[in-house]
Chain A
């Protein structure tokens, strides 16, 4: 199991930023921190978000987010992948939607446009806070910088948005 706990080798971010900072040296503290994240998430008792390392590789997680109550995404659940760089938590993980989602800030490949996963990243964030941020992004999209302009345009017309969202969600859950 321990042998599988390595950071993704082809992570472009860690390649550019790491520049020789020994991943293996920090590897121990990274896995320790990821275990802390898992414990925090499990102890939080929040039913609407969950995550667990995929195949016992601590650097790749599969997460599930259920849309927040009162939002247009209520009771829809989406799977995501989280891959952590060797310099986590100094660098953010790459988080993507595995289940296709109709949302202004998510593109067709599942890439998420969220500032805290990019330039606003802080070493304070953990898996739980990332998932909560994405969950609140679902209900409160940033229309100013859309990745899916169709969804962004429709956001102002909630009835129509909801109709299309439900069709797309049904398709997506059938496919997965």
Chain B
């Protein structure tokens, strides 16, 4: 059953002390993507990374001497002709999170589509035109709301999901503040028009 090991070992002969000094202290194999700790102990990067992840609640310690170890303080070893890439960057066993940017939507529903600004933002867009006509804006808001409501609720929903799924919270927050600001301006403007 240990045939493969026997063969490996016999092929090379029993590993000499010199060869053994380049064995990883965890897998006991020749260290690949080798890194060395500040305390001088050699590991494969995947091996020591798995060890550090194995006890996330504790401070990671060197398996050999229990000295505190840190990912940032592991030194990659580059032999002659080996890949000069930092193994700590090229071989993270844990894949990075993936995110995909939503296609940019120029329709203003993309901006104001969510929540309470549904109808108003449509009215603002439509209402921009009749501002000059006295009482016009008041009516426009009404029609805008009525007409736009059904359609907008749908878009709003889609927009909502898009925001939560893909956009950062901060970005969304900014957008809401912007919407509120614009709304305030619009209302002030309308009031101004009505009372002048």
Contacts and interface: CB of A to CB of B under 8 A. Distances in A.
The answer to whether A binds B is: yes
B28 A40 contact: yes
A27 interface: no
Given A17-B54, A38-B2, A90-B51, A33 B64 contact: no
B63 A36 contact: no
Given A40-B28, A89-B26, A123 B1 contact: no
A40 B29 CA distance: 12
Given A35-B4, A90-B54, A122-B64, 15 more contacts: A17-B54, A33-B28, A36-B5, A39-B6, A39-B9, A40-B28, A43-B14, A53-B1, A87-B54, A90-B51, A91-B54, A123-B26, A123-B63, A124-B25, A124-B64
Contacts of A175: none
B5 A123 contact: no
A56 interface: yes
B34 interface: no
A33 B26 CA distance: 9
A116 to B, nearest CB: 11
Interface of B: 1-2, 4-6, 9, 14, 25-29, 47, 50-51, 54, 63-64, 66
- Pick the 10 closest A-B CB pairs, nearest first: A124-B63, A90-B54, A122-B63, A123-B26, A123-B63, A36-B28, A35-B5, A123-B51, A39-B5, A124-B25
Contacts of B14: 43
Contacts, number: 47
B9 to A, nearest CB: 7
A56 B29 contact: no
Interface centre among A33, A35, A53 (most CB of B within 10 A): A35
Interface string A66-92: 000000000000000000000101110
Interface centre among B9, B28, B50 (most CB of A within 10 A): B28
Contacts of A136: none
A1 interface: yes
Contacts of A173: none
Interface in A73-125: 87, 89-91, 122-124
B50 to A, nearest CB: 6
13 contacts: A29-B27, A33-B28, A36-B5, A39-B5, A40-B28, A53-B1, A90-B50, A90-B54, A91-B54, A123-B26, A123-B63, A124-B25, A124-B64
Contacts of B54: 17, 87, 90-91, 123
A85 B5 CA distance: 21
Interface in A21-40: 29, 32-33, 35-40
